[in-house]
């Protein structure tokens, strides 16, 4: 059986082919002779209760130049596809939510969606850590600046961040005597109208913000520790951090064992956990990255493991 795969992602021309995990997945699908079609979020639409998309066939190659070639356009029901990879990057905004409703219609018609649309809505990448409070550092989610100041006074050094962004965008470190506390909280909470997350600052960030990839609840046995650039609080690669692969520690394996069964139950087949020191800080479900870095450092093929799992689901 030839498997028909669709991918919903940001513009292919805008990716960094050296690091892009979606490209790694497409290379593996092509190696398996799957039929592949490419879509962007705005290509999906609804007509008379059925979800459709305008898509293009795509060919890919492992190259820093000319890494893709698009074929002719076609418009078909999403239900014509066996699998759809939802790989659109945050921000997780209202258009993203609307897209999950369209993908859910395709799922009801028998298409396997990675990750499950309802769980993409349910598992906010910051808030989902609340399902596992025994794995997390002290944290607070609120739009109330006074409550955040109380949290700051309690711990003396905190991180505040939005609930819908990625790549370290709008992440601030605040200490008790910071003269910019008021303006930071005004901007972040939109003067008390928007929920944000505060977490106790973890000194262990000096040893890296570690990304652990899970496939159907089971971890890849290595993490990618992202180390902050000099003078930078954020360790995200998008913020200039550098990457260093490491075997999972006993504590990290324990966190995965605590989290994995819930992710599997919710149909979150491919997930990236962020761990600082002994603590789970985020659960990335929209478009987890770091496949290519881990593959290169440890001579593995994470996409192959994911696609083996997908094939097993389709049988």
Residue boundaries of the structural domains of the chain: 4-115, 138-201, 204-300
Catalytic residue flag (residue 108): no
User: Annotated catalytic residue: which of 87, 88, 161, 292?
Assistant: 161
Q: What CATH homologous superfamily does 138-201 map to?
A: ATP-grasp fold, A domain (3.30.1490.20)
- The CA-based angle 125-127-132, given to 5 degrees, is 100
What secondary structure does DSSP assign to 180-244, as a single string?
THHHHHHHHHTTTTS-EEEEE--GGGGG-EEEEEEETTEEEEEEEEEEPPTT-S---GGGT-EEE
Task: Tell me the per-residue pLDDT of 211-258, one tens digit each, with 9 for 90 and over.
Answer: 999 999 999 999 999 987 776 665 556 656 788 999 999 999 999 999
Catalytic residue flag (residue 153): no
Decide if domain 204-300 falls under CATH 3.30.470.20. Answer: yes
Catalytic residue flag (residue 226): yes
Catalytic residue flag (residue 93): no
Specify the pTM: 0.93
Catalytic residue flag (residue 124): no
User: Annotated catalytic residue: which of 87, 88, 116, 126?
Assistant: 126
Residue 272's CB is within 10 A of a number of other CB atoms, namely: 23
Confidence of residue 166 (pLDDT cuts 50, 70, 90): low
Q: What is the mean pLDDT of the chain?
A: 94
Residue 276 has pLDDT above 60, yes or no: yes
Catalytic residue flag (residue 193): no
- pLDDT reported for residue 169: 77
- CATH class (in words) of the domain with range 4-115: alpha beta
């Amino acid at each position: 059986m030839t498997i028909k795969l669709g991918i919903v992602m940001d513009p292919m021309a805008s990716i960094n082919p050296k690091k892009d995990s979606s490209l790694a997945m497409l290379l593996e699908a092509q190696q398996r002779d799957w039929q592949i079609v490419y879509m962007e979020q705005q290509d999906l639409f609804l007509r008379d209760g059925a979800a459709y998309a305008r898509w293009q066939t795509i060919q890919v190659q492992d190259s820093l130049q000319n890494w893709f070639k698009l074929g002719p356009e076609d418009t078909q029901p999403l239900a014509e596809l066996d699998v759809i990879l939802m790989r659109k990057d945050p921000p997780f905004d209202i258009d993203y939510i609307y897209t999950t409703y369209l993908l859910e219609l395709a799922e009801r018609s028998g298409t396997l969606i990675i990750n499950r649309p309802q769980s993409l809505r349910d598992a906010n990448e910051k808030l989902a850590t609340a399902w596992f409070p025994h794995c997390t550092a002290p944290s607070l989610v609120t739009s109330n600046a006074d409550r955040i100041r109380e949290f700051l006074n309690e711990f003396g050094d905190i991180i505040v961040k939005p609930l819908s962004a990625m790549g370290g965008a709008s992440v601030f470190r605040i200490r008790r005597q910071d003269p910019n506390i008021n303006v930071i909280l005004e901007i972040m909470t939109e003067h008390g109208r928007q929920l944000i997350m505060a977490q106790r600052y973890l000194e262990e960030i000096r040893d890296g913000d570690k990304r652990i990839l899970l496939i159907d609840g089971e971890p890849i046995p290595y993490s990618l520790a992202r180390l902050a650039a000099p003078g930078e609080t954020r360790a995200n690669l998008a913020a200039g951090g550098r990457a260093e692969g490491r075997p999972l520690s006993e504590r990290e394996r324990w966190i995965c064992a605590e989290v994995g069964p819930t992710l599997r139950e919710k149909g979150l087949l491919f997930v990236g956990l962020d761990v600082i020191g002994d603590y789970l800080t985020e659960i990335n479900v929209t478009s987890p990255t770091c496949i290519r870095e881990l593959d290169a450092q440890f001579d593995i093929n994470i996409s192959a493991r994911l696609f083996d799992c997908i094939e097993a689901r389709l049988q």
